[in-house]
């Protein structure tokens, strides 16, 4: 990194509340696939760190919710988890960290507004969590997550909204058949799976959700559907 980048990144580290020991790891966490493509694969992208960060985030949030809501059922905890780890929430956290200016993009992606795209911001949010985990261990990553997500994890004193029920009621009110859920993808080892579930409702484009359990992924998919269609 040159001096200007180091100064800028120190500002990001201050917002994260974490200083990296390995500067190259931090750079990797901020490097999008489009930058890798333009160098002919000579540099790596954040994808592996994003994969790791997604799992670390899910575990840390689940553990925090388990302690914060001792009377909550498994279903309620799953709903809360799905809301907290979904793409929109991660993108909002990334915006609060002001990650955009630090993301390394290919020229075309940069010109296309990539620094403001929710999908990229969400991915980099997770890759930074993965990088902190590798650089400083689980406690450092957990502390980062609790600082950033803490208010969101404890703000709702009332049970979280049941997104699947809301989608079913939304469909019934319009005389539609009940929605159903399909497994779109599954990855990861047996002890730490990652599911992508799809909600299907006749006449509407399917929406997907991701989580470490099918139930939570279904809730995430239902919430994505509500975010897109409930106000229309």
User: Is residue 188 scored above 50 in pLDDT?
Assistant: yes
Known catalytic residue at 13: no
Strand partners, 182: 198
Rounded mean pLDDT, 56-68: 93
Of the candidates 50, 54, 135, 207, the residue annotated as catalytic is: 54
Could you tell me what percent of the chain has a pLDDT over 90?
Answer: 41
Residue ranges of the chain assigned to CATH 3.30.160.20: 163-229
For residue 123 the two structure tokens come to 């991915």
How much is the pLDDT for 3? 36
Contact 167, 222 (CB under 8 A): yes
For residue 206 the two structure tokens come to 């399917």
139-184 confidence digits (pLDDT tens): 999 999 999 998 888 875 555 567 888 898 888 888 889 999 999 9
Q: Look at the domain 163-229 and name its fold.
A: Double Stranded RNA Binding Domain (3.30.160)
101-150 confidence digits (pLDDT tens): 888 888 877 888 878 888 889 999 999 999 999 999 999 999 999 999 98
How much is the pLDDT for 58? 92
12-33 confidence digits (pLDDT tens): 899 999 999 998 999 999 988 8
H-helix or E-strand containing 80? helix 74-85
Known catalytic residue at 74: no
* pLDDT range class, residue 95, cuts 50, 70, 90: very high
How much is the pLDDT for 97? 94
CA distances from 5 to 1, 69, 206 (A): 6, 42, 41
How much is the pLDDT for 43? 73
User: Is residue 35 scored above 90 in pLDDT?
Assistant: no
How much is the pLDDT for 5? 39
Contact 49, 37 (CB under 8 A): no
* pLDDT range class, residue 231, cuts 50, 70, 90: low
Residue ranges of the chain assigned to CATH 1.10.1520.10: 3-155
Give the right CATH number for 3-155 from 3.40.605.10, 3.40.50.10880, 1.10.1520.10, 3.30.420.40. 1.10.1520.10
* pLDDT range class, residue 76, cuts 50, 70, 90: confident
- Residue 144 backbone class (left: φ over 0; alpha: ψ -120 to 50; beta: rest): alpha
User: Is residue 7 scored above 50 in pLDDT?
Assistant: no
How much is the pLDDT for 105? 83
How much is the pLDDT for 185? 93
Q: What is the DSSP letter of 212?
A: S
Of the candidates 50, 109, 123, 126, the residue annotated as catalytic is: 126
Q: Which of 214, 215, 222 is nearest to 178 (CA)?
A: 222
How much is the pLDDT for 1? 36
Q: What is the rounded CA–CA span in Å between residue 107 and residue 167? A: 40
How much is the pLDDT for 108? 79
């Amino acid at each position: 990194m040159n001096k200007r980048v180091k100064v800028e990144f120190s500002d990001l580290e201050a917002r994260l509340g974490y200083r990296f020991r390995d500067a190259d790891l931090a750079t990797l966490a901020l490097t999008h696939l489009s930058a890798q493509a333009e160098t002919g694969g000579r540099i790596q992208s954040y994808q592996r760190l994003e994969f790791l960060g997604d799992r670390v985030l899910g575990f840390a949030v689940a553990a925090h919710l388990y302690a914060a809501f001792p009377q909550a059922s498994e279903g309620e905890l799953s709903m809360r988890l799905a809301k907290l780890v979904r793409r929109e929430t991660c993108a909002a956290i990334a915006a609060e960290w002001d990650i955009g200016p630090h993301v390394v993009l290919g020229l075309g992606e940069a010109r296309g507004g990539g620094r403001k795209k929710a999908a990229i911001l969400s991915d980099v949010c997770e890759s930074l969590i993965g990088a902190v985990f590798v650089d400083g261990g689980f406690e450092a990553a957990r502390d980062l997550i609790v600082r950033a997500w803490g208010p969101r994890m404890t703000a709702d004193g009332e049970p979280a909204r049941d997104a699947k029920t809301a989608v079913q009621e939304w469909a019934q009110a319009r005389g539609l058949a009940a929605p159903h859920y399909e497994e779109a993808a599954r990855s990861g080892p047996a002890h730490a799976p990652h599911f992508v579930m799809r909600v299907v409702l006749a006449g509407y484009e399917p929406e997907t959700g991701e989580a470490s359990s099918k139930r939570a992924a279904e809730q995430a998919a239902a919430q994505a559907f509500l975010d897109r269609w409930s106000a229309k």
